[in-house]
Amino acid sequence: MENEQRLINGKAMLQRVDAEAADSVMTNLQNVAPDVAKMILEFAFNDIYTRPGLSLQQRELVTITSLLTQGDTAAQLRVHLNGCLNVGLSRTEIVETCIHCIPYVGFPKVLNALTVVTAIFADRED
Amino acid sequence: MENEQRLINGKAMLQRVDAEAADSVMTNLQNVAPDVAKMILEFAFNDIYTRPGLSLQQRELVTITSLLTQGDTAAQLRVHLNGCLNVGLSRTEIVETCIHCIPYVGFPKVLNALTVVTAIFADRED
Amino acid sequence: MENEQRLINGKAMLQRVDAEAADSVMTNLQNVAPDVAKMILEFAFNDIYTRPGLSLQQRELVTITSLLTQGDTAAQLRVHLNGCLNVGLSRTEIVETCIHCIPYVGFPKVLNALTVVTAIFADRED
Amino acid sequence: MENEQRLINGKAMLQRVDAEAADSVMTNLQNVAPDVAKMILEFAFNDIYTRPGLSLQQRELVTITSLLTQGDTAAQLRVHLNGCLNVGLSRTEIVETCIHCIPYVGFPKVLNALTVVTAIFADRED
Amino acid sequence: MENEQRLINGKAMLQRVDAEAADSVMTNLQNVAPDVAKMILEFAFNDIYTRPGLSLQQRELVTITSLLTQGDTAAQLRVHLNGCLNVGLSRTEIVETCIHCIPYVGFPKVLNALTVVTAIFADRED
Amino acid sequence: MENEQRLINGKAMLQRVDAEAADSVMTNLQNVAPDVAKMILEFAFNDIYTRPGLSLQQRELVTITSLLTQGDTAAQLRVHLNGCLNVGLSRTEIVETCIHCIPYVGFPKVLNALTVVTAIFADRED
């Protein structure tokens, strides 16, 4: 596949996951590192996200788990908590995913994630 | 629920996830910290794992993602990669979960996990 | 011990460590994940904190060291720096604990912790 | 070398790397942990930074890579992104260093660093 | 650029950095996750490593710093310490890079890296 | 204080904490990075460890907590678990410190530490 097609597919995928984020990713990186925005779309949202073998719901569950576990990722959690809801995961599945991580990472990282979850849930009506 | 019941339920759950691990957890911790084995069973495998809201397959997917992301967890990955297969996840779902983490954690942590995946897959016939 | 007693004991312990935090933990988690507040009280502040073998002062010293070392834990440090002072550790012991971590974690994590320490010390009169 | 000379040399080195930071390090730590400011100057900026074998440009490149990789270091990145420019690294070298880390640490940590880079570049005219 | 060309360029680049690793990457991943080997070559060693703006020596210095800082990366450090020497960095530059990280990450991670450095240096005659 | 005195004091302190480690630190680093051994003695074991404000027992408790929390530190834990026992901490205090970290870092890091604890306790007769 040529890069142009990877970019188009990646944009379409990010649009599905979080349409608002799709715009702001490009804007924020435009001045200093526009190539990083392209890599996010081509590599992450085309090469990785469009692979078969996992549903989009599974992918978003894996994504928020990885972000919660590494910490210092409130900005990215915001995008992908919206993404979770946009691809059809329930609020319960999101909260249970956070709770499931407690024995693996301890309470502080889970509480940090739940602070972002609380804010996202309050902002949305679904 | 009383602690005795939590322990019984937790043992049954770990038995389902990874029967071999269920034995060795108790044995390894017996001399130095037997209470930690009880906490793993009561808190992790009863209080957390038996909650509704996520399937056991989703829980094991979340678990290996969290272990892969934090690193230095080869021993725990071994238990839960077996757990993934035992609760019905496919080899493809496991490998795709690792691949999905590349954009979030980079290649080194994913390669470390895939080394354990390769060893576990080679040991099993399913 | 039944869960009800674990909850009562855990509340009493968190009250001793940081009375203000005891209230806000429940409030913040009330809408999205009230069970996590219960787990913090039952598991962390009853099952763990009430164990013999370490004094409360030792426990709070261990707590702030673990929080400082993992990073991205300013909110939790605030609770437990107050906790340190509430259980009778001196300001000197707190600052020296941070300094002692420099050879193990480097300056950035220690400076992040000292920023929170400075704010907490300024807020209190003891 | 006596400690007094280490302190003088360390101050001169930090002055070269980031004159503004040189002042604020001392001020911020003055009340709670003045000895830490001395250790930063004597140990980090004298004992380490003045060693032969790496140029100051190489040292600052290594520094921002280490800060980006460990995460939760926006405050320290601000000092050393200014440091990079002050010792003669180009904006391109800084951005490329961030981009180079993507395969090793993933996008979230790199995006966090690029947020700080964007702010620093906007503040300066060189 | 088409993916085929990205793969060819990536292979050539990894060949330059560490010819032995170029072979083993493909072999180890062949059974379980051959696509990851392709991503390493296409994304890491073509898209990233062939960018202008940093010399190969700077890239390898950044790489070992990131690996040392994240920890649990002895296998990857082995590849890139060889890579450092292969692209013309001196033993002194490698050791000084490790030493430079002490104030940022503390002694344990640096000592872990120096253990690998010692083994690699002992194996080579350059 | 002159560096010579810092080195002498640091050696004496490490001797107290773990006499066997005092020898092997110098030996292992002798070929590749002898200055790092000096920094460990002068900076860590003189400048930091000899400060007033914390007892040696408190310092070793803080040390093993920081090592357990950062992970990938089995080698350093071995030194400082011996150190804990050498400065008079009991086996119970060591195990309880590990258990106390469960709510803050999760089970995997604590189990990794307890594996080292079990080995050290088996090796010693005190």
Residue B108 at interface with chain A, using a CB cutoff of 8 Å: no
Q: Pick the range with the lowest mean pLDDT from C21-30, D73-82, D93-102, F9-18.
A: C21-30
Closest by Cα among C5, C1, C4, C6 to C43: C6
User: Which one of F68, F73, F111 makes the best mutation probe of the B interface by having the most chain B beta carbons within 10 Å?
Assistant: F111
Q: Whole-angstrom Cα distance, residue A85 to residue A57? A: 9
In whole angstroms, how far apart are CA C20 and each of C14, C27, C69, C79?
9, 11, 24, 9
Does residue D92 surpass a pLDDT of 90? Answer: yes
Does residue F23 surpass a pLDDT of 70? Answer: yes
Please, are residues D80 and D18 in contact by the beta-carbon 8 Å criterion? yes
pLDDT in tens, B24-61: 878 889 999 999 999 999 999 999 999 999 999 999 99
% chain F with pLDDT above 70: 99
> Which residues in chain F have Cβ-Cβ distances shorter than 8 Å to B40?
107
Average pLDDT, chain B: 95
pLDDT in tens, D108-119: 999 999 999 999
D102, closest residue in chain B (CA to CA): B106
The pair of three-digit structure tokens given for residue B7, joined into one six-digit string: 């322990």
The pair of three-digit structure tokens given for residue E119, joined into one six-digit string: 């083994």
| More confident of the two residues E11 and F3 | E11
**C54 dihedral zone (left: phi>0; alpha: psi -120 to 50; beta):** beta
C93-101 average pLDDT score: 98
pLDDT band at residue E20 using 50, 70 and 90 as cut-offs? confident
Residue E102 at interface with chain C, using a CB cutoff of 8 Å: yes
User: Which one of F65, F98, F101, F104 makes the best mutation probe of the A interface by having the most chain A beta carbons within 10 Å?
Assistant: F104
Distance from CA of B72 to the nearest CA of F (A): 6
Please, are residues F58 and C61 in contact by the beta-carbon 8 Å criterion? yes
* pLDDT score for B15: 94
pLDDT in tens, E68-96: 999 999 999 999 999 999 999 999 999 99
Q: Pick the range with the lowest mean pLDDT from C107-111, E17-21, E59-63, F10-14.
A: E17-21
* pLDDT score for C109: 98
In whole angstroms, how far apart are CA D72 and each of C58, C114, C116, D114, E54?
27, 14, 14, 13, 25
A69-92 as b/e: b if 16+ CB within 10 A: bbbbbeebbbbbbbbbbbbebebe
* pLDDT score for D71: 97
Residue F39 at interface with chain D, using a CB cutoff of 8 Å: yes
A110, closest residue in chain B (CA to CA): B66
Please, are residues F62 and C67 in contact by the beta-carbon 8 Å criterion? no
* pLDDT score for F26: 80
3-state secondary structure of C126: coil
The counts of H helices and E strands in chain C are 8, 0
Does residue F86 surpass a pLDDT of 70? Answer: yes
pLDDT band at residue C1 using 50, 70 and 90 as cut-offs? low
* pLDDT score for B1: 66
pLDDT in tens, C19-78: 888 788 788 899 999 999 999 999 999 999 999 999 999 999 999 999 999 999 999 999
CB contact under 8 A, D111 and A36: yes
Does residue D2 surpass a pLDDT of 80? Answer: no
* pLDDT score for D12: 95
A97-114 average pLDDT score: 98
% chain B with pLDDT above 70: 99
F39-48 average pLDDT score: 97
Does residue A119 surpass a pLDDT of 80? Answer: yes
Q: Whole-angstrom Cα distance, residue B110 to residue E25? A: 13
List the subunits that have 3+ CB pairs under 8 angstroms with A.
Answer: B, C, D, E, F
Task: Name the burial class of residue A111, with classes exposed (0-12), middle (13-18) and buried (19+) by CB atoms within 10 angstroms of its CB.
Answer: buried
- Say which of E29, E44, E76 has its CB closest to residue B114: E29
* pLDDT score for A25: 79
CB contact under 8 A, E107 and C108: no
Please, are residues E100 and E90 in contact by the beta-carbon 8 Å criterion? no
Does residue F3 surpass a pLDDT of 90? Answer: no
Average pLDDT, chain F: 95
pLDDT in tens, F87-117: 999 999 999 999 999 999 999 999 999 999 9
Q: Whole-angstrom Cα distance, residue F30 to residue F33? A: 6
Please report the domains of chain F, with CATH numbers, ordered by start residue.
1-51 (no CATH), 54-126 (1.20.1290.10)
Residue A90 at interface with chain E, using a CB cutoff of 8 Å: no
The pair of three-digit structure tokens given for residue E56, joined into one six-digit string: 């190969």
* pLDDT score for D125: 81
- Say which of C71, C107, C111 has its CB closest to residue D71: C71
Helix axes C56-70, C107-123, angle to 10 degrees: 130
pLDDT in tens, F58-68: 999 999 999 99
Average pLDDT, chain E: 95
Written as one letter, the residue type at E114 is L
pLDDT in tens, A44-83: 999 999 999 999 999 999 999 999 999 999 999 999 999 9
Written as one letter, the residue type at C114 is L
Does residue A1 surpass a pLDDT of 80? Answer: no
Q: Whole-angstrom Cα distance, residue C51 to residue A42? A: 52
Angle, CA E66 vertex, CA E61 and CA E69 arms, to 5°: 125
Alpha helices in E30-100 (DSSP H): 34-39, 56-70, 74-86, 91-100
E1-28 average pLDDT score: 88
* pLDDT score for C24: 84
List the subunits that have 3+ CB pairs under 8 angstroms with C.
Answer: A, B, D, E, F
* pLDDT score for F122: 96
Please, are residues D80 and D63 in contact by the beta-carbon 8 Å criterion? yes
Torsion (CA) E69, E70, E75, E80 in degrees, nearest 10: -50
pLDDT in tens, D20-60: 887 887 888 999 999 999 999 999 999 999 999 999 999 99
Q: Whole-angstrom Cα distance, residue A67 to residue A70? A: 5
> Which residues in chain C have Cβ-Cβ distances shorter than 8 Å to D71?
71-72
ipTM score here? 0.96
Does residue C2 surpass a pLDDT of 80? Answer: no
Residue at token pair 């790397």: D17
Does residue F1 surpass a pLDDT of 70? Answer: no
The pair of three-digit structure tokens given for residue E52, joined into one six-digit string: 């202008």
> Which residues in chain E have Cβ-Cβ distances shorter than 8 Å to D54?
93, 96-97, 100
A13-35 average pLDDT score: 89
Written as one letter, the residue type at B7 is L
Average pLDDT, chain A: 95
CB contact under 8 A, A114 and C40: no
Helix axes C19-29, C74-86, angle to 10 degrees: 150
Does residue B121 surpass a pLDDT of 70? Answer: yes
Beta bridge partners of D2: F2
pLDDT band at residue D1 using 50, 70 and 90 as cut-offs? low
* pLDDT score for F126: 79
pLDDT in tens, E110-119: 999 999 999 9
A2-23 average pLDDT score: 90
Residue E104 at interface with chain C, using a CB cutoff of 8 Å: yes
C92-117 average pLDDT score: 98
Residue F13 at interface with chain B, using a CB cutoff of 8 Å: no
In whole angstroms, how far apart are CA E71 and each of A26, B113, C18, C65, E68?
32, 14, 34, 19, 6
Average pLDDT, chain C: 95
